[in-house]
Amino acid sequence: MKQIILASGSPRRQELLKQMGVKFRVVVADTQEAHGRGRAARSICRRNALAKAKVVAETHTNHTVLGADTLVHLGDELLGKPENLAEARRMLRMLSGKTHQVTTACALIEWRRKKVFTVTTRVAFRVLNARQINAYLKAVAVLDKAGAYAIQEKGEWIVESLNGSLTNVVGLPVERLERELAAWFDTYH
């Protein structure tokens, strides 16, 4: 498989690509992310992933570029990255005892070709009290994580069950991405 360009500075996405054995380099996309309401999470993720990939592809025309965007949503409420610990605490209280969704969109672009897909995972949270929330916030740096949590870091403290791709919740739906990359390179290279 040829090398790709990851249009993201996310250490979690980089680690997942390394685990997949994908050769890549990072070129961080400088874009404004679209925002909206929860029912539009898929289209917002698609728009953001595509925008990131397009910005990088404009200057790297002979390379396959991967853009990705992940959103946590509970009903109509979109939960991005918290601005501070008070907002993180509010998000975790909101998610406590409820099932929410995590949607990741991936966009592959090379010259005039593009492929965009989304994967959604359902995550059920345990009922959390203030002490548990505070302990989690002390143990895990959450300010750079959508929904104020990282399932891969002390996730067992807060998550009751998961329906779908675990790696999708981390930031890249590895199982689907592996299939899409194989088809992408088999078809055109």
Q: Which residues are catalytic?
A: 69
Residue 2, C-beta contacts closer than 8 angstroms, at least 6 positions apart = 23, 64, 185, 189
Would you say 163 and 102 are in contact if contact means Cβ atoms under 8 Å apart? Answer: no
Cα 103 to Cα 73: distance, rounded to the nearest angstrom: 8
Pairing of strands 77-79, 24-26: unpaired
**Rounded CA gap, 68 and 86, in Å?**
27
d(CA 43, CA 179): 22
Dist CA 189 CA 180 (whole Å): 14
Beta strands in the chain (DSSP E): 4-6, 24-26, 64-74, 77-79, 99-110, 113-125, 159-163
Distance between CA 173 and CA 18 in Å, rounded?
14
